[in-house]
Amino acid sequence: MTASIQPEIAATLVDWYDRNARDLPWRLPPGSALPDDPAWPYRVWLSEVMLQQTTVAAVKPYFAKFTETWPTLEALAAASDETLMAAWAGLGYYSRARNLLKCARAVAERGGFPDTEAELRALPGLGDYTAAAIAAIAFGKRAVVVDANVERVVARLFAITEPLPGARKAIRAAAATITPASRAGDFAQGMMDLGANICTPRAPRCLICPLSGSCEGRKQGDPGRLPVKPPRKVVPERRGTAFWITRAKGTQVWLVTRPPEGMLGGMRALPDDGWSAQEHGSGKAPLGGAWQRLGAVRHGFTHAHLTLEVRALETVSQPRGAGQWWPVEKIGEAGLATLFAKAARLALARGD
């Protein structure tokens, strides 16, 4: 691909985006002037953090809930850790929520978001992609924005055959050659939309792609093979136990808050036996008694698959360690991580 056609790629892509942009609650219509409103970079930042490794469909209701509960950055910065972690429950990758609150507090302290990539990267939880996306979308700065969708488009457009993750340097360099100075946010979002809807992981829709005439991968006959991915690693299997401890004739259940660091850190949960991605749980219960085995639930994490046995006990004793008695009828409001929400549903179903 010659350097002379690079501006044409950007112009073609932006023109396509003008006609085909997804209507998303955190976006402006294509070609809109950027609002002079501190809520705008806040909404862009919040959406980008939520969208990391998560689908648009999953994010929409959470984005709506967060912006209704905390309409400004300052409101979010004032939220308690416990309240925010409960609101995040079910969205996964909980380190994002912890970093979200750290970042909100840091930005509130400095009086607003910076508008350069370098300053944005210095904020808690903001890596290269998120900083570039905020700089381009929220502030209109030229920034090379490469998420998984853009990575796929560029790998095919330039026929970059080096396997991932080693290819990422070449992909970023190639993306830089087509990133325009004007309408930087629209270009970035157009590339994301193209990857999400046209240049898909399987069976790319080349016949309706606006960039098909410039795509080296298509010219070589099999764009779907790109980007080349490394062999999948075997994900280890782990076992653990969760304990459904009730009192007052089953109307209250004992919940704990997990340590701030580590898997599901800071989330409300059922007590468990110390399982981790590296180790099986001990099976040791937090108090003695005639435990009833209710069954097991399965859950997949990035680094392990977990089979979690659920055991139940009605007690008049106080379990060891810190925790709280929670009304069983309001368990849906506890903000349990998805894994423990599954365990609670199993316990309730077996109890019925």
Pair (241, 217) in one structural domain: no
Domain-embedded: residue 26:
yes
Instruction: Judge whether residue 352 has pLDDT over 60.
Output: no
234 vs 64, more confident: 64
SS3 327: strand
Q: Do residue 265 and residue 332 come from a single domain? A: yes
Residues 247 and 335 in one domain: yes
Q: CB of 70 within 8 A of CB of 62? A: no
Which residue in 300, 286, 297 sits closest to 348, CA to CA?
Answer: 297
- Rounded CA separation 221/252 (Å): 62
Report whether the peptide linkage leading into residue 29 is cis, meaning its omega lies within 30 degrees of zero.
no
Average pLDDT rounded to a whole number, residues 219-248: 94
Q: Which residue do the tokens 């077996």 mark?
A: 350
Q: Is the pLDDT of residue 18 over 60?
A: yes
Claim to verify: residue 264 and residue 214 sit in the same structural domain: no
**CATH number, domain at 319?**
3.90.79.10
Cα three-residue angle 312-315-317, rounded to 5 degrees: 130
| Position 3 confidence tier, pLDDT thresholds 50, 70, 90 | very low
Residues recognised as catalytic: 48
Please tell me whether residues 221 and 243 are part of one structural domain.
no
Cis peptide before 165 (omega within 30 of 0): yes
Q: Which residues contact 194 (CB under 8 A, 6 or more apart)?
A: 13, 16, 17, 149, 153, 209, 210, 211
Residue 167 placed within a domain: yes
Among the candidates 180, 195, 225, a domain finishes at 225
Domain assignment of residue 113, yes or no: yes
Considering the domain architecture, whether residues 155 and 244 belong to the same structural domain is answered as no
Same domain, 37 and 154: yes
Q: How confident is the model at residue 233 (pLDDT cuts 50, 70, 90)?
A: confident
Residue 1, pLDDT score: 53
- List the end-to-end C-alpha distance of the chain, in Å, as a whole number: 65
Radius of gyration of the chain (CA): 24
Per-residue buried b or exposed e for 247-285, using 16+ beta carbons within 10 Å of the residue's own CB: beeeebbbbbbbeeeebbbbbbbbbbbebeeeebbeeeb
Band (7; pLDDT cuts 50, 70, 90): confident
Asked whether residue 112 falls in the same domain as residue 21, the answer is yes
Cβ atoms within 10 A of the Cβ of 313, count? 20
Q: Per-residue pLDDT averaged across 120-135, rounded?
A: 95
* Res. 5: pLDDT tops 60: no
C-beta of residue 308 within 8 angstroms of C-beta of residue 240: yes
The reply to whether 232 falls in a domain is no
What's the structural domain count of the chain?
2
Let me know: does 243 contact 271? Beta carbons within 8 Å: yes
Q: Which domain holds residue 315?
A: 237-351
Distance of alpha carbon 183 from alpha carbon 34, whole angstroms: 10
- The answer to whether residue 230 sits within a structural domain is no
Residues 47-100 pLDDT 10s: 999 999 899 999 999 999 999 999 999 999 999 998 999 999 989 888 899 999
CATH number, position 89: 1.10.340.30
Give pLDDT, residue 4.
43
Q: Which two tokens stand for residue 316?
A: 């008049």
d(CA 78, CA 186): 32
Q: In this structure, is residue 85 part of a structural domain?
A: yes
State the chain's mean pLDDT as an integer.
93
Q: Which of 168, 194, 225 is the last residue of a domain?
A: 225
* Residue 176: per-residue pLDDT: 96
Q: Which of 166, 190, 225 is the last residue of a domain?
A: 225
**How far is 172 from 176, CA to CA, in rounded Å?**
6
Residue 151 lies in a domain: yes
Question: Residue 351 pLDDT > 80, yes or no?
Answer: no
168: Cα within 13 Å, side-chain hemisphere? 12
Cα-based angle 128, 131, 133 (whole degrees, multiple of 5):
105
Same domain? 184 vs 309: no
In total, the chain counts a number of residues equal to 352
Exposed, middle or buried by CB within 10 Å (0-12, 13-18, 19+), for 109?
exposed
